[in-house]
Amino acid sequence: MSTLASLPEPDKRGLLAYLEIILRINETLNLTAVRDRDEAIARHLEESLELVPAIRAIAAERGERRTPLRLVDVGTGGGFPGVPLAVALPDIEVELIEAREKKARAVETAIQEAGLRPLAVHADRVELLGQGALRERFDIAVARALADLPTLLELTLPLVRVGGCLLAVKGERAEEELSRSKRALRELGGELHSIERVPSATLVRIDKRSATPKRYPRRPGEPKRNPL
């Protein structure tokens, strides 16, 4: 299990500096409901790093590659889990999506001030990005606390190339959400690979087996209003 303490000291310092900047910005811009530093370390850094073994396993499945794996964090908010993953997994190319411009720019500022490697932060609705420049561009999509699984599948699978996967960070209702996702999986080209418990959550891995039809994702807001 990857933890903050297991990271090289420069990476640990960089992530803690990043978190301090996010908490400072959070005083005037609502990036996270967590305001206590110790709780933020647990909720945002440690819980983000719980995804590292699963992502390393996916990378191992892919074997040697001429280009790095590409990962997108959808609905990144204050940069979690994407920023900690980018630090812990330097060989993976990480990009972030945050629909709200002010939050996206705040994350960019915090990354720069903390001295972390630059990351692309896309300030747009994921429904639009999934119909445009980012369609089927990534090997892995990750999402935490973004939407119910049927909605989440429509928001994320269009971003994933065939042969890639979604890692959805879910809670105790993961299997119940899966039971309501059969149509979405069928329509969007996804297939359940595994359900794995990690200390703070349940990781649902969905593999993308076929291309997503061009009609998905639907216009902004529709996947949430009328889930598949």
- Ramachandran angles phi, psi of 26, nearest 5°: -65, -15
Contact present, 192 and 148 (Cβ < 8 Å): no
- CA neighbours closer than 13 Å in the CB half-sphere of residue 61: 12
Q: What is the pLDDT of residues 150-163, one digit of tens each?
A: 999 999 999 999 99
Burial (CB count <10 Å: 0-12, 13-18, 19+), residue 80: buried
Token digits for 126? 């994921």
- Evaluate if residue 15 carries a pLDDT over 90: yes
Q: What is the pLDDT of residues 75-114, one digit of tens each?
A: 999 999 999 999 999 999 999 999 999 999 999 999 999 9
Domains of the chain by start residue, with CATH: 4-225 (3.40.50.150)
pTM: 0.95
Contact present, 154 and 189 (Cβ < 8 Å): no
